[in-house]
Structure 1
Amino acid sequence: MRRVAVRSVVLAGLLVLTGGLPAGAHTGEDPGAEADVAYHGRVSLTGARLRIWLVPENEGPAALPNATVRVRLSAELADRQELSEGCARAGMREVVCETGPLPMHGLGRHIGLVLGLRERAPEVVVRVDTWWNGGATDRNLANNEHVVLALDTGDMYAF
């Protein structure tokens, strides 16, 4: 599964850098598909440790073979991270994870992250959104773009 996420990250990076697909590349995307990807979860901050638990969901009308959720932070990540399977670091403040298959009106795999911060912060803003969804149309972005403020209290903040 990790290869799929890394392949998605690399392909998306190529798209950004080159402005298009490399010659002969195949994405497996179905540009005619329509799906409604949503994320629900919790965030908690204790010291320099941020815990994130999220569940991707597809409210339909079509199934997706995979998608990539992006988690962006207002604080820098520590240099070394032990990430969950299917996740990859995408920058100093960013992690991306594959969702696995998202059946129509179903859930993807539960994603749990324990991220170390470069230094302790009194608060961290966590942004969750879809980075890649196979080219499907998503007409309801309100349920897959979240901004959560986590205070260094150990309390859980739901989204």
Structure 2
Amino acid sequence: MGPEVGVGGGVGSEVGGEADLAHHGHVSLWDGRVGVWLVSENLGPTDVAEATVRLAFSVPMAGGFDLPPACLWSSDRVVSCRTGELKATGGVGELALDLRTAGHPDELTVDITTAWRDGVADRNPRNDRHRVLVLATGDPYVF
């Protein structure tokens, strides 16, 4: 029997156990600003040394703003952030972003997904993939 391929672990990588990553939080939009508060959790039985969460926005973000040290711009619409170590059955990582859009949209969507999970399998991806419609009201839209 050959090695399994871990979702997000890369083609050809062996699965190093099973985790259950989940992302929850809220997103707000007001006056061309986007606030994101995100909690990443590992509900599964295997520790995850590092994972990457990807936030893809439907509108371009304005450049020139600093991101937290764990994050980088993948494009003008995508931010990728390391979660840090997520211990089994309850390891938590938090992230807060204060971004600006290139204009002043009335709404946007943000897709939140796990892009990489250090070679572990996640057979329950429903709780680490979200699409959130955010209106420019300043209200927190929870996911």
Do the structures match in fold with TM over 0.5? yes
C-alpha distance in 2 between matches for 1:53 and 1:107: 17
Q: Letter of the 2:41 partner, please give it.
A: E
| Counterpart in the other structure of 2:5 | none
Residue 141 of structure 1 and its aligned partner are, at CA, apart by: 0.7
Residue 30 of structure 1 and its aligned partner are, at CA, apart by: 5.9
Alpha-carbon deviations, 1:3-47, whole Å to 9, x = none?
xxxxxxxxx9xx7xxxx79xxxxxxx7623110000010100001
Residue of 49, 68, 83 corresponding to 1:65:
49
Q: Does 1:150 align with 2:134?
A: yes
| Counterpart in the other structure of 1:118 | 102
Residue 80 of structure 1 and its aligned partner are, at CA, apart by: 1.3
For structure 1, the residue ranges without an aligned partner over 5 or more in a row are 1-11, 22-28
Identity %: 39
Alpha-carbon deviations, 1:119-142, whole Å to 9, x = none?
110001011000110121100010
Using a 3 Å threshold, how does the CA distance of structure 1 residues 38 and 80 change in structure 2: closer, same or farther? same
Q: Is the 8 A contact 1:30 1:134 kept in 2?
A: no
Q: Is the 8 A contact 1:55 1:107 kept in 2?
A: no
Residue of 59, 72, 78 corresponding to 1:94:
78
Dislocated runs of 4+, deviation >6 Å: none
Q: Letter of the 1:45 partner, please give it.
A: L
Report the number of matched residues. Answer: 135
SS of 1:81's partner is: coil
Q: Letter of the 1:64 partner, please give it.
A: V
Q: Letter of the 2:64 partner, please give it.
A: R
| Counterpart in the other structure of 1:80 | 64
C-alpha distance in 2 between matches for 1:107 and 1:126: 24
For structure 2, the residue ranges without an aligned partner over 5 or more in a row are 1-7
Residue 105 of structure 1 and its aligned partner are, at CA, apart by: 1.0
Q: Higher helix proportion, which one?
A: 1
Q: Letter of the 2:32 partner, please give it.
A: A
Alpha-carbon deviations, 1:89-110, whole Å to 9, x = none?
0012000000000000123321
SS of 2:126's partner is: helix
| Counterpart in the other structure of 1:38 | 22
Alpha-carbon deviations, 1:61-86, whole Å to 9, x = none?
10100100000000001021211120
